[in-house]
Amino acid sequence: MEAGNLLFYFFIIFTSAKILGELCVRLRMPPIIGELMAGVLLGNYVLGVIDNSNHVLMSFAEIGVIFLMFHVGLEIRVKDLFAVGRTAIFVGILGVVFPLVMGLLSMLLVGYELVESLFIATAILATSVGISVKVLKDIGLIKHKVAYIVLGAAVLDDILALIVLALVKGLARGEFHTIEFSMLVVESIAFVGFLTWWGPKLAARTRRWIERLNIPEGPFVLSVILCLGLAELADVIGLAAIIGSFMAGVVIDELAGVYDLENKVKYVNEFLLPFFFVMMGAHLDPNAFLNPRLLFLILLVTAVAVLSKMIGSALACWKEDWKVRIQTGVCMVPRGEVGIIVGLIGLSLQTITQEIYTIVLGMSLLTTLITPPLIILAFRKRRL
């Protein structure tokens, strides 16, 4: 990709996202709806302005969601995560069990083979928490109890989904390596556990050293290095990169207020994040909704994805009032890029067809589109 073309893509993506986002705000809808719709319009299937398979743009989009989760981590207090720890664990576990079982049974009932059904079920396991987090931040509820439950559950959700995906990939290939699988589980738990427990303590001891730095905006520069480094480490382990960036924010939470890191990262987000939502929207082919059979299957899988998370979350939050149960379930609904990644893995292994990939893609984007208005509706009375 030439530099001139890249600048054009950056200009058209950012400008379109902000214009349609502004329009949605004026219509009393979350701005990310406009950003997603900008992607649909600009993508291969409508105007064809941007290529949804462009690696440079997709990488830039991934950096956007990485910094979103980093910013969220900066606002999260470890003690508050521990306060909802038990509930978050139950939400994470049941939020995997119910989608896996309901997704598998639904696909088997409509005639798909076991491996194909397992890939679809796996695609509806992990929550794309970046979507819900953005909406909660926009409405000023990122420090709400439900936000802490969802963030804690999402970390466990991602680890469990990774384990299930490893099992399904092994089944699809006809091979399973016990040692590699065990290492994956141990590394994931150790990564999250160490950073949650020891990370903030180690970061607090570096303050005196940080203040000796002579480079401009030294604390901010070091925080970005930590964000990118832990995101890469998480990716190497096999976790989603956003888990690493979120943990980076949690680790330096106590330093964030001292050096005004939250405010500085916020402006980085305002530039980078629209690329993530636009590139997600660019994957949607509106023509898929004109095929009656495909439309039925997309709606079926989407319904299973929504109901399974809602049921799992409601049961997991049984000690909470009904509002918290509904709010938690709604925030766990979006699948976003997680479902797309699972679908791409299935395609690369040649174990699912293009039709199944389209179904997974449709489900991922539909759950992303419906989540913002559902969150607004679920929290409406609390905002009055």
Q: How confident is the model at residue 36, as a pLDDT?
A: 82
Structural domain total, the chain: 2
Chain centroid, CA 121 distance in Å: 17
Q: How confident is the model at residue 184, as a pLDDT?
A: 73
| Structural domain ending residue among the three candidates 50, 72, 87 | 50
Same domain, 64 and 203: yes
Domain hosting residue 176, numbered range: 59-279+290-383
Q: How confident is the model at residue 144, as a pLDDT?
A: 80
**Domain assignment of residue 245, yes or no:** yes
Closest Cα to residue 374, out of 294, 313, 306? 306
User: How far is the C-alpha of 190 from the C-alpha of 186, rounded, in Å?
Assistant: 6
**Domain assignment of residue 88, yes or no:** yes
Same domain, 4 and 72: no
Same domain, 159 and 297: yes
**Domain assignment of residue 131, yes or no:** yes
Same domain, 306 and 196: yes
**Domain assignment of residue 285, yes or no:** no
Same domain, 5 and 46: yes
Same domain, 2 and 138: no
**Domain assignment of residue 75, yes or no:** yes
Q: Is the overall model pTM greater than 0.75, yes or no?
A: no
**Domain assignment of residue 284, yes or no:** no
Taking the CA atoms of residue 338, residue 150, residue 39 and residue 367 in that order, the dihedral angle to the nearest 10 degrees is: 80
Same domain, 248 and 154: yes
Query: What's the CATH number where 236 sits?
Result: 1.20.1530.20
Same domain, 102 and 206: yes
Give, for all 384 residues of the chain, the pLDDT tens digit.
555 588 899 999 999 999 998 998 888 777 877 888 898 899 888 888 888 778 888 888 889 888 888 887 887 676 666 666 788 888 888 988 999 999 999 999 988 888 888 888 888 887 777 778 778 877 777 778 888 888 888 777 777 777 787 777 667 666 666 776 677 778 878 888 888 788 887 877 777 777 777 777 778 888 899 999 999 998 888 777 877 888 888 888 767 666 778 788 888 888 998 998 898 788 777 887 788 888 899 999 999 999 998 999 889 888 888 888 898 888 888 876 667 667 766 766 677 777 888 888 788 878 888 888 888 888 876 443
Same domain, 191 and 79: yes
**Domain assignment of residue 139, yes or no:** yes
Closest Cα to residue 289, out of 340, 370, 363, 342? 363
Same domain, 84 and 2: no
Same domain, 92 and 35: no
Chain centroid, CA 251 distance in Å: 20
Same domain, 67 and 27: no
Q: How confident is the model at residue 348, as a pLDDT?
A: 64
